[in-house]
Amino acid sequence: AGTLGVGLDVQVRATNWLVLRGGGHFADINIDREFDGIDYSADVGLSNGMATVDIHPFGNAFFISGGGVFGPKTIDLAATPAEPTQIGDQVFTPEQIGSLVGSVEADTAAPFVGLGFDNAVLRSGRVGVSFLAGVAFTGEPSVALAAVGGILESDPIFLDALADEQDQLEDDVRDFQYLPVVRLGLTIGF
C-alpha cells in the first residue's frame, strides 16, 4: 500500500544483486482543493502498472530502483460556486457560471527512480517486508475546463474568461509533474 494505492507485485531474483519487479496498483481518492480561488471537489483516480529493475549493490536488502509507472493519472474536477466568483479576470454570478467541470491529466508513461529495502528475495525465510520511496516523472499535466448549466454557457465573453481560467489552472498544477511514490509492503516467498 502507498501513494499509488493498494496493489500486488511479483518479483524475481535474476542474480544475487538484480531483481525484476512488476505489479499493479489502484486508488480512488476524493479531496477538496482550492485552485485559483475556486474550491473544487477533486476525484483522483489511479490505475497503474509498475515495472522496475532493482539493483542490490551491496548484496543485502537495500536497493536502487529504476523503471516506469504506466497507466492513467487523472484528476476529475467539479465546482459549483455559491457566490460571485472570478473566472479569468472577470467576476460572474453563480447563475451565470453554473458548474465548472474539468480534468487534469498527466502522461500515461512515467519514468521512475527510487531507493528501498526489500528482504524478500535475498533471504531464506518466506515472509518479509519491503519499503520503496521514489518519484515518477509524469510531465506537465494538461487541463481541460468547461462550464455547464449557467446562463452564459455559450457566451463568447464568458468562454474567453473560462479559457483564461483554464490557463491559470494549468499554471497552478504545473508543479504536479512529479508523482511521489512511497510504498510499504508485506512479502511472501514461494
pLDDT tens digits, one per residue of 36-91: 778 899 998 889 999 999 999 998 899 999 999 999 888 999 999 999 999 999 99
Burial of 141 (0-12, 13-18, 19+ CB in 10 A): buried
Q: Is the pLDDT of residue 120 over 80?
A: no
Instruction: Tell me the helix, strand and coil percentages in the chain, rounded to 5.
Output: 15, 60, 25
134: nearest Cα among 149, 155, 117: 117
3-state DSSP call for residue 59? coil
* CA distances in angstroms from 86 to 96, 118, 155, 170, 172, listed in the order given: 12, 50, 16, 16, 15
Say what the pTM is: 0.82
Quick check: helix, strand or coil at residue 189? coil
On whether the CB atoms of residues 153 and 98 are closer than 8 A, the answer is yes
